[in-house]
Amino acid sequence: MLTNLYFVRHAHSVYTSDELGRPLSERGMRDAEVVTELLKHERIDIVYSSPYQRVIQTVEGIAKHVGSRIEIEDDFKERKLAATAVDDFLAAVQKVWEDEAFC
């Protein structure tokens, strides 16, 4: 039996200092619908997500379509940008990707 894994990155979100609760933007919500359309004919038995709201929102359409609840997996969390809000979000993201040891 062949097992397929589909990895989906969260759709566009609006930056807020609340990393865990940051929601999708309007564009992100439309993109999440596209994800559902792309995957709705695939045989999907279970949907996993990180605990981030934006990720859950990205995959909840496909989970509903296939009749699966979303299993939250803490190990799918992103790297932490900072302990508090950052002044320059893009600079912080760039630093994370340039320095593998940055956490």
In the chain, what are the domain boundaries?
Answer: 26-78
Per this entry, what is the length of the chain? 103
- pLDDT for 87 equals 78
- pLDDT for 53 equals 97
Q: Angle of helix 26-39 relative to helix 53-66, nearest 10 degrees?
A: 30
- pLDDT for 27 equals 98
Judged against a pLDDT cut of 60, whether residue 103 lies above it is answered with no
User: What would the pLDDT profile of 51-75 be if each residue is shown by its tens digit?
Assistant: 999 999 999 999 999 999 999 999 8
